[in-house]
């Protein structure tokens, strides 16, 4: 089968299209014929060596497709099932072996590309808005990169929960997308001081929570945007890693700082099915809207990663084997 592998860490040029043996599922594993794979920053971090793994590795942490075969002791799925998953590596390929406990069946009306695009960022938006800081009607939140993959979904889920939502974006075109997703205000953080703008919009109070995927360039002002006892959920670093923080930096507002990750919010099969089930159900009913930036052929994985890093994309990028 064809797969995209990394043999040594580096830039996009380190992605190689290779021919490898189709893997065989072991106990509690299924072999999935991949119809679409999500492209995520986590893939870039593994490629660049920011996240460590024994090389060579097949990249990709999210996919959708059909169960081809199952190993022993698999109860969750059967051959022929249409499934989707996140958080198992190897989806930049024609086939992937996936722990069966991570597989979720796709509703009949949801296509493979939609399902592949929804799993990682969709479950992330779900845990951030429903668990990390569980929004309720009347809460106010700030969502950075509000036209991005995770950001666009957080905006929509925050609105579903009745929150007032401010979204930051870098361009007018992205502002239009954030507003279409339901944001009450789009703040051009490349042109205006978003901290001052949030203070103005909240009459000086600050927001209840900031969902920050940008990291290095936004972190400090994100802290300053919060109301006393507000929460900063720093869940990503598209602009670079935030330098070490002194606990005293949180004293100004008795602030709660957390650095959450999806793996810790799908600790049980029940929790995974709750989050993925909600996301797929909302897509099926049209309650949640997915924006797919582009679907690239598998061989163009390097171009897809370059595009994601370029800051020019909106919504989700996919690879099609
Ligand atoms: P996005 O689709 O949001 O793409 C990144 C966006 O970040 C850009 O489009 C851009 O939006 C903004 N950005 C701001 N500064 C920069 C910069 N210097 N370089 C590039 N982009 C910049 O990506 P994702 O939603 O896929 O992921 C965002 C982050 O969230 C990543 O760090 C990812 O690893 C993390 N993440 C974490 C998860 C978790 O569970 N902890 C799960 C999912 C993602 P704009 O032009 O509007 O500024």
Tens-digit pLDDT profile for residues 277-318:
999 999 999 999 999 999 999 999 999 999 999 999 999 999
With pLDDT > 90 as the criterion, what percentage of the chain qualifies? 100
The pLDDT score that the predictor gives to residue 129 is 99
Kindly report the average pLDDT of the chain as a whole number: 97
Give the torsion through C-alpha atoms of 303, 309, 312, 315, to 10 deg: 90
pLDDT at position 226 is 98
Q: Which atom of ligand 1 sits closest to the CA of residue 215?
A: 32
Give residue-wise pLDDT tens across range 113-163: 999 999 999 999 999 999 999 999 999 999 999 999 999 999 999 999 999
Residue with tokens 């002194």: 246
Q: Is any atom of ligand 1 closer than 6 Å to the C-beta of 311?
A: yes
The residues, any chain, with a CB within 8 Å of residue 210's CB and separated by 6 or more, are 141, 142, 143, 144, 222, 225, 226, 230, 231, 232, 233
169 lines ligand 1 (CB under 6 A): yes
Model pLDDT for residues 23-44, shown as the tens digit of each residue: 999 999 999 999 999 999 999 9
- Kindly state if the Cβ of 288 falls inside 6 Å of ligand 1: no
41 lines ligand 1 (CB under 6 A): yes
The residue among 167, 168, 158 whose CA lies nearest residue 137 is 158
Percentage of the chain surpassing pLDDT 70?
Answer: 100
Pocket of ligand 1 contains residue 315 by CB under 6 Å: no
Backbone CA torsion sign across 93, 52, 232, 130: positive
Cβ(115)–Cβ(84) below 8 Å: yes
Q: What average pLDDT does range 213-231 have in this prediction?
A: 98
Give 269's pLDDT tier (boundaries 50, 70, 90): very high
Ligand 1 atom, smallest distance to 316 CA: 2
Q: What share of the chain is helix, strand, coil (3-state, %, to 5)?
A: 35, 25, 40
Reported as a pLDDT band with limits 50, 70 and 90, residue 53 is very high
Give the C-alpha separation, 290 to 117, whole Å.
8
pLDDT the model gives residue 20: 97
Residue nearest to ligand 1 atom 36, measured at CA = 236
236 CA to middle of ligand 1, Å? 7
- CA trace torsion 87, 92, 94, 95 (10° rounding): -30
Task: Report whether residue 40 contacts ligand 1, using a CB cutoff of 6 Å.
Answer: yes
The closest alpha carbon to 98, from 124, 76, 125, belongs to 76
pLDDT tens profile 6-25? 999 999 999 999 999 999 99
- Is any ligand 1 atom within 6 A of the Cβ of residue 148? yes
CB of 91 shorter than 6 A to ligand 1: no
Q: What is the pLDDT of residue 214?
A: 98
Which residue of 48, 150, 309 sits with most ligand 1 atoms within 8 Å of its CB, as the best mutation to test the pocket? Answer: 150
pLDDT the model gives residue 187: 98
pTM, whole model, 2 decimals?
0.98
Q: Domains of the chain, with CATH numbers? A: 2-120+265-320 (3.90.180.10), 136-259 (3.40.50.720)
Supply the residue whose CA is at minimum distance from atom 4 of ligand 1: 148
Residue 85 in contact with ligand 1 by CB distance below 6 A: no
235 contacts 213 by C-beta, under 8 angstroms: yes
Check if 122 has its Cβ closer than 6 Å to any atom of ligand 1.
Answer: no
């Amino acid at each position: 089968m064809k797969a995209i592998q990394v043999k040594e860490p580096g830039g996009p040029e380190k992605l190689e299209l290779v021919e490898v043996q189709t893997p065989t599922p072991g106990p509690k594993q299924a072999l999935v014929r991949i119809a679409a794979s999500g492209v995520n920053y986590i893939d870039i971090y593994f490629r660049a060596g920011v996240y460590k793994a024994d090389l060579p590795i097949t990249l990709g942490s999210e996919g959708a497709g059909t169960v081809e075969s199952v190993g022993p002791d698999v109860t969750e799925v059967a051959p022929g099932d249409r499934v989707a998953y996140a958080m198992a590596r190897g989806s930049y390929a024609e086939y992937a072996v996936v722990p069966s406990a991570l597989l979720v069946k796709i509703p009949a009306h949801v296509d493979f590309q939609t399902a592949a695009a929804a799993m990682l960022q969709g479950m992330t938006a779900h845990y951030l808005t429903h668990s990390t800081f569980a929004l309720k009607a009347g809460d106010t939140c700030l969502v950075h990169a509000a036209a991005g993959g995770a950001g666009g979904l957080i905006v929509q889920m925050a609105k579903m929960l009745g929150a007032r939502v401010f979204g930051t974006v870098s361009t007018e075109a992205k502002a239009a997308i954030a507003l279409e997703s339901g944001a009450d205000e789009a703040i051009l953080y490349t042109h205006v001081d978003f901290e001052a703008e949030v203070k103005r919009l909240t009459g000086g109070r600050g927001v209840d929570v900031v969902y920050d995927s940008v990291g290095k360039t936004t972190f400090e002002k994100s802290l300053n945007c919060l109301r006393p006892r507000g929460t900063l959920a720093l869940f990503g670093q598209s602009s670079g890693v935030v330098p070490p923080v002194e606990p005293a930096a949180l004293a100004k507002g008795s602030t709660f700082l957390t650095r959450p990750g999806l793996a810790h919010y799908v600790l049980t099969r029940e929790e995974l099915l709750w989050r993925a089930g909600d996301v797929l159900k909302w897509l099926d009913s049209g309650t949640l809207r997915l924006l797919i930036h582009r679907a690239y052929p598998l061989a163009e994985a390097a171009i897809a990663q370059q595009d994601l890093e370029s800051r020019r994309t909106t919504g989700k990028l996919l690879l099609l084997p």
